[in-house]
Amino acid sequence: MGHRAGLYTLRVRKRYARGEEQSRLLGDFDETGTSFTVALNDLLQDFQVANPDGGRVLACLDSHVDGDDLFAVLQHGESGVAADIAAPDGDILFHQRPEHTHLVKCGALFQLPAHGDMGVLAAHINNGRGVKTLLHRGITTGLLEQYPDVTLHLRPYTPRSVLDAAIEQGRIEKVTLVRYERPQDRAIAATDKWVRSGQIGRLELKITAVGRGERLKNALLRRFQHDQSVRQEIVEFEGLTFDEASVEVVLPDNGHKTYNIEEPDAGHPITAELTNLTFDDDGDPTAESLSAALKAAAGQVVTSAEGEQ
């Protein structure tokens, strides 16, 4: 799986406020002159958080500030798995039991411009092990204790331009239509065979092209880019009107991304491959190379966000 970064935009807002206009300046997020960069770095000292069942934990091993950037070295722990740890020649070196914790080092790079109200988080994904969920939970809890009138908002970075480019270039892998069948208005009696009386049924239709590397037609989606009323044609299939539509596209790096056509910014973030990493004797990326790689990934968000927001 390698090393990638999940990209997020970051804002600090007054608790319960709505709308981006309520976002605080990151250099004065509590409106008493406190820098969010400094406050976050303080919060990361002795930082540790676990998910509700304790199966996953996250701790901060080190963090430091460089101007508007904050880089943290984190340790992600996961238990609950039994496995044999084998050497390259197949010899079993150790048997991992469910109560053992599998520890993996990860990084996180925050870019927090003091004179702006939007920052960026590049969260390291180390061979499938990411830190964003636990990191966000721990920071939110710490802020609530020390600054109860503000809250942290992280938004997955999924620029509309990526979807638009995929549509224009015909890189449409799958279209999914979803309809919710309510008990009082069953459109398809066949769902009664599976859905209990009084419950809502979810009917899902997936459309793909059969064959390796085949793509779907893009004409209807290209029309939708310029005329939102085309949505009605998209959500209709054989006389049945669906409630939602999403498209799965192939990204330039051959990754896949699913977009809700009406909320392209929702869902999981774009991920960027981390390049030019150097590794220590234990096989972990060095802190210096990981920080630089995450900074380069975060820079993609800053450049694009300025042009799109």
> What are the residues whose beta carbons fall under 8 Å from the beta carbon of 122, sequence distance 6 or more?
5, 6, 7, 8, 108, 109, 111, 272, 294, 295, 297, 298, 301
Q: Are residues 238 and 191 in the same domain?
A: yes
Lowest mean pLDDT among 30-34, 65-69, 134-138, 198-202: 198-202
Compute the distance between CA of residue 231 and CA of residue 121 in angstroms, rounded to an integer. Answer: 33
Residues 227 and 86 grouped into a single domain: no
Q: How far is CA 41 from CA 7, 60, 121, 147, 219, in A?
A: 20, 10, 14, 14, 49
Nearest partner of 21 among 11, 30, 31, judged by Cα: 11
Please provide the average confidence, as pLDDT, over all residues in the chain. Answer: 85
Q: Does the pLDDT of residue 85 top 80, yes or no? A: yes
**Pairwise CA distance, residues 308 & 164, whole Å:** 13
Q: Are 157 and 301 in contact (CB under 8 A)?
A: yes
Q: Which two tokens stand for residue 3?
A: 């090393």
Same domain (yes/no): 244, 295? no
Q: Are residues 34 and 128 in the same domain?
A: yes
Q: For residue 156, what pLDDT is reported? A: 84
Same domain, 222 and 290: no
Entry pTM? 0.68
**Buried b / exposed e along 286-301 (16+ C-beta atoms within 10 A):** ebebbbbbbbbbbebb
Residues 22 and 38 in one domain: yes
Give me the torsion for CA of 212, 164, 10, 128, rounded to 10°: 0
Distance CA 226, CA 171 (A): 18
Tokens 């509700």, located at residue: 52
Measured between alpha carbons, how far is 296 from 94 in angstroms, rounded to an integer?
Answer: 37
Name the least confident of 2-16, 246-260, 270-284: 246-260
CA-nearest of 187, 185, 162, 184 to 172 is 162
Task: Residue 128: give the domain boundaries.
Answer: 3-157+269-308
Residues 96 and 235 in one domain: no
Give the mean model confidence (pLDDT) for residues 40-52.
94
Same structural domain, 83 and 118 = yes
Beta strand extents in the chain (DSSP E only): 3-14, 48-50, 56-66, 69-78, 83-86, 92-96, 102-111, 119-126, 129-130, 150-156, 172-181, 201-207, 236-237, 240-241, 244-250, 256-260, 271-273
For residue 28, the model assigns a pLDDT of: 95
H helices within the chain, ranges in order? Answer: 36-44, 132-146, 160-168, 219-226, 231-234, 287-308
Please tell me the predicted confidence (pLDDT) of residue 303.
46
Question: In angstroms, rounded to a whole number, what is the distance separating the alpha carbons of residues 296 and 272?
Answer: 9
188, pLDDT greater than 80: no
The number of distinct structural domains making up the chain is 2
The answer to whether residues 179 and 241 touch, using CB atoms and an 8 Å cutoff, is yes
Task: Compute the distance between CA of residue 135 and CA of residue 6 in angstroms, rounded to an integer.
Answer: 13
Angle at 297 between CA 11 and CA 49, to 5 degrees: 55
Same domain, 123 and 170: no
Q: Is there a single domain that holds both residue 28 and residue 151?
A: yes
184 and 70 assigned to the same domain = no
**Same-domain check for residues 180 and 228:** yes
Q: Is the pLDDT score of 1 beyond 60?
A: no
Q: Which two tokens stand for residue 156?
A: 């997955």
